[in-house]
Amino acid sequence: MGLPPGEYDDGEGHRRYFDGNSYFGNKVRGPDGSWVDGPPPKTVGPGWNARQVYSLGGPPLGAEQPKPTTPDYSSSVSPSVSSALTTMGAIAFLCAIVVLIVSQFVEANRWAMLVAWIVLTVATPVVWLFRGRRGGRLTIVLAALWLVNGCGAMWGFSLAKEDPPPPEPDAVALAREAVADEVTGFGSTLCYYLEENAARRLRARYDATTCRNALKQAREEADDAERIRRSLAVTPVSVEEDVSTPQDDRKIRVKLGKNPLELRWLAFTVRYVDSRDRWEKVQIDGAG
């Protein structure tokens, strides 16, 4: 019959329990609210338009418990309202896409828009002064462009994120790495920048006639590059920014402790490498 289980008026003055298929036996609701035996029902169940009768008592013993029903809220929304909500959602999505595209454009072209705003700041009053009413429409167009470029430049600069400056270089670690590179053979410019006294000490230590031969012998005999990287005594003297290069290099000068190359001080240039997120030696500037 399509009616949910529950208590219904059978149209004969009795309240009976309908289990979803038929009335449950001969049970009727008594005056005291309990279920009692009554006359057999004359129909299988209530009519299609019957309404449930709610009472404090539950269904008869053995009858199926009525299942709670969840109201269907979707049916209460009219098609026009649903269509309006869909349209508003689509408009909001399109607006978000437009804002994203415009924000990326003004961020990428903020400097150009700033220059255009400055030019229009001068050009707009000049046109207005020289052409008067004849240039009214042109003046309005220039004023609108001035406003658009000004707002766009301000928006673009507010969105732009400047890259954070690199951390300061670790002069001790970089000096140890530079000496270890020369000992292991990865360096190749030490002899060009080595002072005469330092070159004399290096040749005497390895009993060599040239700096290159002494450096080659030092590389063959030295097996403590890792110890140099870990524990070579280094005293930073200065770390200065090299303004002569666009890469924002740093010039470092340090004093060195005992090492296989008989170096007492070392000067070198380092550069920050974004792809590896670290400072690396560019060249040796001097040693002694």
Contacts of residue 215, defined as CB under 8 A and 6 or more positions apart, other chains included, come to: 182, 190, 191, 202, 261
Confidence of residue 28 (pLDDT cuts 50, 70, 90): confident
Q: What would the two tokens of residue 223 be?
A: 């097996």
- Res 64: pLDDT: 61
Dmax (CA) for the chain in angstroms is: 130
Which string of DSSP letters, residue by residue, matches 48-67? TT--B---SS-PPTTSPPPP
Mean pLDDT value across the chain: 75
CA atoms within 13 A on the CB side of 179: 35
Check whether 75 has a pLDDT greater than 60: no
- Res 49: pLDDT: 66
Burial of 225 (0-12, 13-18, 19+ CB in 10 A): buried
- Res 65: pLDDT: 62
Contact (Cβ atoms closer than 8 angstroms) between residue 282 and residue 249: yes
pLDDT digit string (tens) for 233-269?
A: 777 777 777 666 656 788 888 888 887 778 888 888 8
pLDDT digit string (tens) for 115-127?
A: 888 887 877 777 7
- Res 67: pLDDT: 59
Rounded to whole angstroms, the Cα distance separating 19 from 51 reads 14
What percent of the chain is predicted at pLDDT more than 90?
0
- Res 176: pLDDT: 80
The per-residue b/e assignment along 194-208, b for 16 or more CB within 10 angstroms, e otherwise, is beeebbebbbeebeb
